[in-house]
Structure 1
Amino acid sequence: MPETAVRPVLLTSPPTADDALPGEAARSARGLDPADVEAVLRWAAGLGPRVPHPASGGTARRWELLASVGAQDLSVARMLEPHLDALAILAEDGTTPPADSTWGVWAAEGPNARLTAQGSDEAGWVLDGRKPWCSLAGSLTHGLVTAWVGDHQRRLFAVEMADPGVTVEDGRWVPAGLAEVVTTPVAMTAVAARPVGTTGWYLERDGFWWGGIGVAAVWYGGAVGLARRLARQVREREPDQLALMHLGEVDAALAGARATLAEAAAVVDAGGVTGPGAVLLGARVRHVVATAVELVGRHVAHAVGPGPLSQEPEHVARVADLALYVRQHHAERDAAGLGGMLAEHHPEEAPW
């Protein structure tokens, strides 16, 4: 695709000359090789301080940047997003990260893996055990990781990956998509850790959901990348009615997702939702975007046929990357969770 085609994915009005970061990030991402993980992470570290944090007045631009990178290369976006999320979390805690540091955020739990924390804020903390699903753990300088403090509560801790007690396990990572974003368990033995926030803070804060919407913005960008491939085909050959139908369905799906993201950004910046309202907003936006992504993927596949999937490496990678990435949304289970929130918080009258 020619350089002139590299453009940002915008949710609201076009950026001004003083606020063109989404377009700049898209062009930079276009020139990166996701197989060179170290180079991508250095780029992320340099970009991070320039990206607005959620609820800072620039939430739309933040999500536009994530979507713009996602439209170019989802593997690059998958490396960038958790680093930006970690910087936002640290900012909420009032912490300044070391210069040029690169970060992951690891909060998943799994069978046969439990990470525990022992100590106190006064005497210091150490972590022991195993943490599953640690993306890029072998390439990052630091991680934010949740660990159990007692039997029922978790707390977030910052760790240095160079600590001698950290072992990045070999783990089985053989996906069709996001192959460069190697995700494995990490074992920790007496690893020194600094608490970030109080016990339970990480999962209870509104920012947890703003970060989750940021992930959905990347999904949206990936779907835009697919849609642009379809639009190019419609321009290059005379479309029949079926091709136009597919294009119309794609446009409508993306319009709905874009409007949902834009409204959410405005609400977040205005401080309009907190507590259960933030949870509901995050769950709703992620479900709307994930549904749109899957619809776009289906219509693009039906419209362009097998050729791009067998002859265009960029398209093949985008399809595979997006299929895996969007599975961070748990489909019907998350839809049921959204319905449960509505039933609990609006028992007498629905919000619409």
Structure 2
Amino acid sequence: MAQDVMTGRTAAELVASAEDVEGFGTDVPATLAWVSDVAPSLPLPGQGATAELWHALAAVAARDVGAARILEPHVDALAILGQAGASGVDTGELRRALDVDDDSTWGVFAAEGPGARLVAERREHGEWELSGTKPWCSLAAHLTHALVTAWVGPEQRRLFAVGLRGSGAAAHSGPWVSRGLQQVVSAPVDFTQAFAVPVGAPGWYQRRPGFAWGGIGVAAIWCGGARPLADALAAAARAERADQLARAYAGAADAALWGARTALSDAARAVDAGDLDDAGARLLAARVRAVVSDAVERVLDLTDRALGPGPLTTDEDHARRVADLRVYVRQDHAERDLARLGALVAS
């Protein structure tokens, strides 16, 4: 994101705080301890400092993609709970009911998949319980709590807060054979009459503008994660024996990420202006994610072409960054997401 509209102060402090974390990004418990410590100091989206938040997420990704992947859902959960509180949900009671404290770590599990369905039922005593299986639950075996969508009828889903350390939640260890983000296991969780607290009315989670803002925050991480790759291409272009091709690769990568940062900066201003309705927020997020994902995939391809197999086979940090980014950016669904963007444009 453009430096002329962001101080970078929060980002610099965030990255500096990671220097003393042993195994930052690869040791999940150590990184989660860092996450629970630093996340409350980050601004929430839509409150005047969205650009600063996204710049901070991008800066962490530039340091380590895995660490940013671990940080992002916790930050998103805090934002969701903040929005819920602003809409009238008693988040203080929620925290007391689920024994949430300053060391708690959060995930957001909202994916659906074939053969897996999570159902919420309200018992006679008024409490809610979750039963069934939720797919794609990243880091569930390590987290203390999660915000989870569950079906409350044939057509409606509702968001619930739930503890993950009790007997009612059992996280799978796989299948997870990914070479990228190996430590961020995203596998199913089985819930069996797990006590849960509703967060917002049915449909609220998907309808709120913050749903789109969270998706743009993920794109900011993709962008930040690609920055060291563009830096490597620039370094190659400065080498004594660099040719025109080396300079062309560096120029193409710089232009791609400049466009991505510009899109993120413009989106941050639009979010903070506060005049986006649900449709406008979704259109903005779809556009930004398309621009950023294209830029990151372009940089990944340029890096492979320019640097060859050397760093992929002999440089641990480079090889891990490339593998992590290739998995992470697949949260963009390529032409299917472009089709959704086209439908929004045509509506």
Q: TM-score range by the shorter chain?
A: over 0.9
Asked whether the equivalents of residues 236 and 246 of structure 2 are also in contact (C-alpha less than 8 Å), the reply is no
* C-alpha distance 231-264 of structure 1, shift in aligned 2 (>3 A): same
Select 2:34's aligned residue among 43, 47, 61: 43
Name the structure 2 match of 1:207: 210
Name the structure 2 match of 1:253: 256
1:27 to 2:16 alignment: yes
Q: Which digits, 9 at most, give the CA deviation of each residue in 1:288-324, with x for residues without a partner?
A: 1000011111111111111111110000000000000
1:129 to 2:135 alignment: no
- How large is the Cα RMSD of the aligned pairs? 1.6
Q: Which runs of 5+ in 1 are unaligned?
A: 1-9, 345-352
Select 2:339's aligned residue among 336, 341, 347: 336
SS of equivalent to 1:52 = coil
Quote the sequence identity (%): 52
1:55 to 2:46 alignment: yes
1:328 maps to amino acid: Q
More displaced stretch, 233-242 vs 291-300: 233-242
Mapped to 2, the partners of 1:252 and 1:30 lie a distance apart of 30
Select 1:81's aligned residue among 72, 80, 84: 72
* C-alpha distance 207-15 of structure 1, shift in aligned 2 (>3 A): closer
More displaced stretch, 308-317 vs 227-236: 227-236
Mapped to 2, the partners of 1:259 and 1:122 lie a distance apart of 52
2:293 maps to amino acid: A
Deviation at 1:112, TM superposition (A): 1.2
Aligned length, in residue pairs: 333
Asked whether the equivalents of residues 12 and 262 of structure 1 are also in contact (C-alpha less than 8 Å), the reply is no
Q: Which digits, 9 at most, give the CA deviation of each residue in 1:18-76, with x for residues without a partner?
A: x6110122233455422321110111111111100010101000000110011111110
Name the structure 1 match of 2:181: 178
* C-alpha distance 31-256 of structure 1, shift in aligned 2 (>3 A): farther
Mapped to 2, the partners of 1:308 and 1:333 lie a distance apart of 32
Deviation at 1:13, TM superposition (A): 2.3
Mapped to 2, the partners of 1:121 and 1:324 lie a distance apart of 44
Name the structure 2 match of 1:348: none
SS of equivalent to 1:215 = helix
For 1:1-352, list aligned pairs within 5 A. Answer: 10-13=1-4, 16=7, 20-29=9-18, 32=21, 33=23, 34-94=25-85, 95=91, 98-119=101-122, 123-344=126-347
Runs of 4+ residues deviating >2 angstroms = 10-16, 26-32, 95-98, 232-238
Mapped to 1, the partners of 2:142 and 2:184 lie a distance apart of 10
With structure 1 as the length reference, what TM-score do the two structures score? 0.91
Mapped to 1, the partners of 2:19 and 2:62 lie a distance apart of 9
* C-alpha distance 121-214 of structure 1, shift in aligned 2 (>3 A): farther
Mapped to 1, the partners of 2:250 and 2:35 lie a distance apart of 34
SS of equivalent to 2:134 = strand
Mapped to 1, the partners of 2:200 and 2:342 lie a distance apart of 30
Asked whether the equivalents of residues 216 and 290 of structure 1 are also in contact (C-alpha less than 8 Å), the reply is yes
More displaced stretch, 257-266 vs 234-243: 234-243
Asked whether the equivalents of residues 54 and 88 of structure 1 are also in contact (C-alpha less than 8 Å), the reply is yes
* C-alpha distance 314-31 of structure 1, shift in aligned 2 (>3 A): farther
Mapped to 1, the partners of 2:106 and 2:283 lie a distance apart of 28
